[in-house]
Amino acid sequence: MSGAPALSVSGLSRSFGGLTAVRNVALDVQPGERRALIGPNGAGKTTLFNIIAGEIPPSEGRVTLFGRDVTRLAPHRRTALGLARTFQVNTLFPSLTVLENLLLAVHGVERTRLHLHRPLAAYGDLCDRARSVLDRVGLSGGEERTVRTLSHGEQRQLEVGMALASSPRLLLLDEPMAGLSRAEAQRFTSLLQELDPAMSLLMIEHDMDVVFGVAERITVLHHGQVVADGTRDEVRRSPLVAEIYLGTG
Amino acid sequence: MADRSDTAAGSGVRSEPWARRLRAGAIVAGVALLAAPPVLPGYALTLLTQILIYAIFAMSLDLLLGYTGLASLGHAAYFGLGAYAVGILSTGHQASFWTCLGAALLLATAVAAVFGLVAIRALGVYFLMITLALGMVVWGLAFRWVSLTMGDNGIAGIARPSLVPGLSLSDPLRFYYLALAAFVLSFAILLRLVRSPFGLSLRGIRETERRMRALGYDVWLHKYLAFVLSGAFAGLAGALWAYYDGFVSPVEVHLVTSVETLLMVAVGGPGTLVGPVVGAAVLVLSKNLLSLYTKRWLLVLGLVYIGVIVLAPKGIVGALRGERR
C-alpha cells in the first residue's frame, strides 16, 4: 500500500442548472476498505459516482484515485488506473454473448484491446480469466447465451461480473441488488464478502441487510451533502440518520 | 474463400449449424469462382468482376455501418479518391499498376484520416450529415477541379494494367482473377480483423458506448481507426474499379454511389462479412439484368429493399441465419 487513499474526494459540487445535486462532498476510501453510500432517492449518490468515474465533470472540487489527481481525466483512463464500476440500470451489450461481454471487460484494461491481427480465441489466458468470472457470479454454463435472453437477475449478475473481470483496485457498485430476489441478494452478499481483501469497495445500496453485511463504514448523503460518516454501528445508532433516511422522524 | 465465413458471431468460438452450412457454401462458391470463369460468357465475367469489386467496397462500409454502428453517407469519397488516383496517374503519368495502387490506397487512407478527425466527434444523425458534407466536398473537387480531374467529362482511356512488365491484364479473364485475388485478400484481412479483440470492441461500441468507456476503451480512437481502415479498403475497391471501367467521373464520388453501397450492406446483412458480398451481388445483378427489361429497374430495386426491411431487417444473410427480429 502506498498509503494514499484509493479514492479521495474533496470539496466536490455539481449543479445542473439551478439544482445542486452534489454539494461540497468530501469522502475517502482507504485501500481494502468496504464503504457504503446510502441516502434517500435523489440524494446525489449516482451523480457522485458519475463524477468519480469521470462521466460528468464536477462544478467544483477534486477527485484523486490512488493518490493521483484525476479530476479532468477521461473515464477510460480512470479504468486503466484500476477503477471499475457497475450501473444502476444494466448497461450491457445485449446482442453479444455473455462470454463476449466479459471478454470486452477483460481486454479493456489490457493493451490487447487494440490488437486486430489475432482472433479472440488466441488469447487463452484472457479467455480463462473471463470464464473464471462466469463461475464467480453464478453464470457458468451460460457463456454462449446472448445477453438479451438472460433474465433480469442474470443480467444483474453479469453487470457485476463485468466490473470484476478487470480485477480492479477500486470497485464502485451502483445498487447491485436492485431487482434481485431475496435468495439472489443473499448469494450476492456472500460474493461481495469474499472479494479480494486488498480491493476497495464503494457501494450504493438500499438493502440494509446487504449494507450492514458488507460495509464496514457508511457515508450518508442527503440533499447532495454528507450528513453522516462513520462505522456501521455509529451510523446504525445515529438518530439523525434514522430520521432522514429511515423516515422515522 | 477457403476462410471460414464469419457472419457476425465473430468470437470464432461458436460452430452452429448455419455456420457450417455457410462454410460449406463458401467453399463451393470459392471453387466456382476459381473454376467457372474460363467457360463463362464474357458478359457474365463482366458482372462477376463488378460484383467482386463492389463487394470489397460494401465490406469496407459494413465495417462502419454493421460492426461499429456508424452510418456514413459519404463513403463513395474514398472509393472515388482511389479511382481518381488511378485515373490521373495512369493516364497523365503512365504510372505502373503498383504505383497507382499504392497512391490510391495512400490517398484514400490519408483523406479518411483527416476527415475522420472531423466526423468521428459527431454522433448519430450528425455523423450522417457530416459524412454527407465531406463526401460532397470530394464530389465538388472532382467536378470543379477540371485541370486535374477533367470535371464532368471524366478521365477516359484508363488502360488495364500490367502486374509486372509483360503480364498484361487487358484480357478480361486475367483482370477477373486480379479482382478475385483482391477480394479474397480483403475478405481474409477483414475476417481476421472482425474476429480480433479490436473487432469485438467495434461491436461493443455499436451496442453500448457508455459501457465501453467504463471498461477502459478510448471509444473515439477505436471508431477513428475503423473509419480510416474502412476508407483504405474503399480506396482499394475504387482503384480496381477505375481499371475495370477504364473511366472515372464524378459519378464515382456521388451521393448515389454512397447510397447504393449502403443498400448493398442493408440488403445483404449488416454486421456480417458475407452480407455485403451477397448485397453487392444482388444490386449489381438487378441493376444490370433488370435494366435489360425495364427502365424502371430502380423501382423494382426499391420494392426489393422495402421487402427486405419489412421481412428481414437483418438482411438476406440475417434471415438465412434465422434472425428475423
Cβ-defined contact of B211 to A107 (cutoff 8 Å)? no
How confident is the model at residue B325, as a pLDDT? 43
pLDDT tier, B160 (very low <50, low <70, confident <90, very high otherwise) = confident
* DSSP one-letter code for A220: E
Residues of B within 8 A of A120 (CB-CB) are: 10-13, 195-197, 200
Residues 6+ apart with CB under 8 A from A247: none
Give the predicted TM-score (pTM) of the model.
0.89
Distance (Å) from the C-alpha of residue A118 to the closest C-alpha of chain B? 5
How confident is the model at residue A32, as a pLDDT? 92
Percent of chain B scored above 70 by pLDDT? Answer: 93
- Mean pLDDT of all residues in B48-66: 95
Cβ-defined contact of A74 to B218 (cutoff 8 Å)? yes
Question: Which of the residues in chain A have pLDDT under 70?
Answer: 1-2, 245-249
- Mean pLDDT of all residues in B191-217: 94
Mutate to test the interface with B, among A87, A104, A146 (most CBs of B within 10 A): A104
Cβ-defined contact of B204 to A93 (cutoff 8 Å)? yes
Residues of A within 8 A of B217 (CB-CB) are: 76, 104, 108, 113
Q: Mean pLDDT for chain B?
A: 86
Asked if the model's pLDDT at residue B132 lies above 70, the reply is yes
Q: Check CB contact of A245 with chain B, cutoff 8 Å.
A: no
Residues of B within 8 A of A119 (CB-CB) are: 12, 192, 195-196
Which residues between 34 and 73 in chain A have a beta carbon less than 8 angstroms from any beta carbon of chain B?
53, 55
Residues 6+ apart with CB under 8 A from B205: B68, B69, B212, B217, B219, B222, B223
Q: How far apart are the first and last CA of chain B?
A: 29
C-alpha cell at A66: 490512488
Cβ-defined contact of A80 to B214 (cutoff 8 Å)? no
Query: Can you list the positions of beta strands (E) in B106-261?
Result: 155-156, 247-248
Interhelix angle for B42-62 vs B172-194, to 10°? 20
pLDDT tier, B324 (very low <50, low <70, confident <90, very high otherwise) = very low
Cβ-defined contact of A104 to B208 (cutoff 8 Å)? no
The 10s digit of each residue's pLDDT in B234-280 is 999 999 999 999 889 888 888 888 988 998 999 888 999 999 999 99
Asked if the model's pLDDT at residue B84 lies above 90, the reply is yes
How confident is the model at residue B164, as a pLDDT? 76
Based on its alpha-carbon atoms, the radius of gyration of chain B, rounded to whole angstroms, reads: 19
Residues of B within 8 A of A84 (CB-CB) are: 214
How confident is the model at residue A35, as a pLDDT? 94
